[in-house]
Structure 1
């Protein structure tokens, strides 16, 4: 088994079939998809089982109660048989060549441990509304400015998790940001393919998750990451960004966030 796709599912019924179909359409076929049903109550469980019955590469694990994203992903990683771990979310869509291109790139670049990509932004109806780009080489030099890796775009060598640990289950948000900081502490190497391999969905629901306490979490992660990686204190100014953004009125913030994400560049 080459690739284990790890997905945490919690009430993703609306978009789940399109998501799973995008996995089945991958040009790279040597994969398993571990679907962690994290206490869904909206009918997602039925869809997951339908796909497990349809294609034996889909494997469903049902958790008795909601563990949150980090806990669910850790369960999936612990069960993964693949040499590589691919992340994906239940409302996003993989382009057909995503796994093939990332796997091929890692095969010829054995020094790279974590490989992401750019993404197209889609709305509730699947319309492309923008583009999200990331630095070609995420590093301590740019990680404070913005999360330099799109979480559901990554392909990671499983050995990295085995050496340095997985997601912090105490965190309810920004688990990926925290993970990148910890990986960088151990000189794990990052890269992003400068092409769009993911349709990344941003909906009105995406904004309802941005509670102020999660802004505080993000600021704490930035502070801890700065200290962990001995990043120059001058970059500590970026710690204020999530705290300031959290004070912006909701409607204004939504418009700003759409523009910011769509225009974000390396």
Structure 2
């Protein structure tokens, strides 16, 4: 039995699958088992995976072509795991050579946490580094940030299987069970990771390391680029679910996080422009539920930037925010996309 099981789902991932597998085989830590979860590939991915399995006994190919969506595929994979830890990896990303070593050090540094993830380098289809994915640090930050976006890189994370098992945590479902059945979402794909790890973040069980663990590939075939609008819609549903769950956990009045969410670097389009009063209510609830901390205040300062949608107010608030805090991925992009959508004459240009 390996100490670390690695779940790698694939559906027609031939262009990058070989590099993804090779990056795992190059890990400085050798005590792992790779489970390749095939979801009905027909492009040669299965044959490529079989060749790697013949060359390395730590690699197993599993046929889950019958799985109903990515959530079920990953849950089927979880059922086959018996190692202490479960690592996720995508078929088009690259593990940095010391990813496992850094992750194990993270679990030792943060005892009692169920999830360790980290930062990422962004690469294009030709393996050229084009940027960096900068995500928040600290479990208090992740608890607060999870109400407004997914602050955890799913392809870079590793789970403590024992802790996950005790909680009954699975992909795509409400495992905390604090809300009535009609308010409990079921997500088959696109945001199944946000639903699972958002709940774990509310419990304070997630940490992001400050260093990159993977190279995340951004290309035209990414699900997040092809189905962005649907993913944002599902993510808003999850944000509202997480907010209701948070309020139930701490016996607080419910609030709507949607005006302050920035899924996919986008703000919810609304007729109202002033959400300052709603922000004050939300901020009070978060401070009561999470307790005062510098991590929470950092998250609230950014959400306050989004609470007034008139352009001068947003820009002034963001300038003040940046005087105190460095930017993270998606923060300036959110304001930029809103500004571009509402510049004078923009509607006429788009109509033309």
The TM-score bracket by the shorter chain reads 0.7 to 0.9
**1:158 equivalenced with 2:158 (yes/no):** no
Larger relative contact order (C-alpha < 8 A, sep ≥ 6)? 1
Runs of at least 5 residues in structure 2 that lack an aligned partner in the other structure: 173-185, 270-327, 334-352
TM-score (norm 1): 0.86
Runs of at least 5 residues in structure 1 that lack an aligned partner in the other structure: 248-258
Q: Is the 8 A contact 1:119 1:198 kept in 2?
A: yes
Aligned-residue offset at 1:101:
1.1
| RMSD (CA atoms) | 2.5
Give the distance between the partners of 1:242 and 1:117, measured in 2 at CA.
Answer: 19
Pair 120,242 (structure 1): closer, same or farther in 2 beyond 3 Å: closer
**1:237 equivalenced with 2:237 (yes/no):** no
TM-superposition CA deviations, 1:145-197 (whole Å, max 9, x none)? 33111001101100232122210274221111101222234x25111110111
Q: How does 1:17-36 map to 2 (within 5 A)?
A: 17-36=18-37
Q: Name the SS for the 1:141 alignment partner.
A: helix
**1:149 equivalenced with 2:171 (yes/no):** no
Pair 125,241 (structure 1): closer, same or farther in 2 beyond 3 Å: closer
Q: How many residues matched? A: 252
Pair 196,263 (structure 1): closer, same or farther in 2 beyond 3 Å: farther
Q: Counting strand residues as a fraction of each chain, which structure ranks higher?
A: 1
Give the distance between the partners of 2:131 and 2:150, measured in 1 at CA.
Answer: 18
Pair 201,261 (structure 1): closer, same or farther in 2 beyond 3 Å: farther
**1:181 equivalenced with 2:198 (yes/no):** yes
Q: Partner residue of 1:218?
A: 235
Q: How does 1:40-51 map to 2 (within 5 A)?
A: 40-51=41-52
**1:201 alignment partner, one of 198, 217, 221:** 217
TM-score (norm 2): 0.66
* Bigger-Rg structure (1/2): 2
Give the distance between the partners of 2:32 and 2:129, measured in 1 at CA.
Answer: 27
TM-superposition CA deviations, 1:212-254 (whole Å, max 9, x none)? 333221111111111111287263423575696698xxxxxxx
